[in-house]
């Protein structure tokens, strides 16, 4: 019986200049073990994004953390940060330079034990399709 649950908070900031927009995000991942035994797990996390003007969603950054969650306990871990910069479109004397870069559009977390998914959370359910099975 699976007694592991996960909640995820996305935190970060966006900064704006005349020519750029920078997004920085990280995840606070709360793992709760409702079982009577400690559980060693692997936490895989993903940040998803899109090219400016594009429709295809891709994994921008991923990572993994190995952690043991004590019985009847909630352990909190933090992902490495993800950062993306968008250069705004610029109109000049010789024409317009289009905007370029990628935007962070979502995130996901998958908790595994011995290669099996115990639980997961994705900010948008369709994002799960970008990571397949037990990636």
> pTM value?
0.89
Highest-scoring range by mean pLDDT, 18-22, 70-74, 87-91: 70-74
CA distances from residue 97 to 18, 19, 51, 93, 100 in whole angstroms, order as listed: 14, 11, 16, 11, 9
For residue 73 the two structure tokens come to 């306990």
Handedness of CA 40, 62, 103, 86 (dihedral sign): positive
**pLDDT, tens only, 86-103:** 998 888 888 888 889 999
Domain range 4-124, its CATH number among 2.60.40.10, 2.60.120.560, 3.40.50.1100, 3.40.50.300:
2.60.40.10
**pLDDT, tens only, 27-62:** 999 999 999 999 999 999 999 999 988 899 999 999
Domain borders along the chain are 4-124
For residue 78 the two structure tokens come to 């933090």
* Distance separating alpha carbons of residues 17 and 2, to the nearest angstrom: 47
Asked if residue 76 has pLDDT above 80, the reply is yes
Could you write out the DSSP letters of every residue in 12-34?
A: EEEEE-SSEEEEEEEEEEEEEE-
Give the pLDDT of residue 39.
96
* Distance separating alpha carbons of residues 63 and 40, to the nearest angstrom: 17
């Amino acid at each position: 019986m699976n007694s592991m649950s996960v909640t995820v908070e996305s935190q970060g900031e966006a900064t704006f200049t005349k020519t750029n927009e920078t997004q920085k995000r990280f995840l606070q991942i709360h793992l709760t073990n409702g079982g009577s035994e400690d559980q060693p797990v692997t936490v895989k996390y993903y940040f998803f994004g899109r090219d400016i003007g594009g429709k295809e969603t891709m994994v921008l950054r991923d990572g993994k953390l190995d952690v043991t969650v004590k019985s009847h306990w909630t352990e909190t871990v933090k992902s490495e940060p993800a950062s993306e910069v968008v250069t705004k479109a610029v109109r000049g004397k010789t024409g317009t330079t289009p905007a370029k870069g990628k935007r962070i559009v979502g995130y996901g977390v998958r908790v595994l034990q011995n290669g099996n998914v115990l639980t997961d959370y994705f900010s948008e359910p369709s994002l799960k399709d970008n990571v397949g099975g037990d990636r």
